[in-house]
Amino acid sequence: MESGPLDRATAAEYASWFKALADATRIQIVTLLARARTPMAVKDIVDAVEVGQSTVSAHLKVLAEVRFVLVEHRGTTSLYRINDACVACFPTAADVVMGRPVPDTPPPSC
């Protein structure tokens, strides 16, 4: 196990992930998309989390910036889906930050 802090770039990447999940509505959106297993329109996400469309759109933007969600444009409709690759990295990131041993820590390149 390494001693000392993470390198700055890795720490910054992990911090952006934790920051993106530091909101209850964003947690709801991530779990909704992860459980849906299919792309969803903003309207359907709004109906499920019971907050306004502009709020959901702002949260989706934050989640897309850290690649937790992916957007697919179909005509005038934007469909959002969970990015399984990035979400799979998150538990490892939490383990690394907390100093737990992890096998071959993947770089934060999700």
Fold designation for 8-97? Arc Repressor Mutant, subunit A (1.10.10)
Could you give the percent of the chain with pLDDT greater than 90?
58
User: So what's the pLDDT on residue 4?
Assistant: 79
Nearest to 42 by CA among 20, 34, 51, 24: 51
**pLDDT, tens digit (0-9, with 9 covering 90-100), for 10-55:** 888 888 988 998 999 999 999 999 999 899 999 999 999 999 999 9
Q: Report the distance separating Cα 62 and Cα 57, nearest Å.
A: 9
For the chain, domain boundaries: 8-97
pTM of the model: 0.80
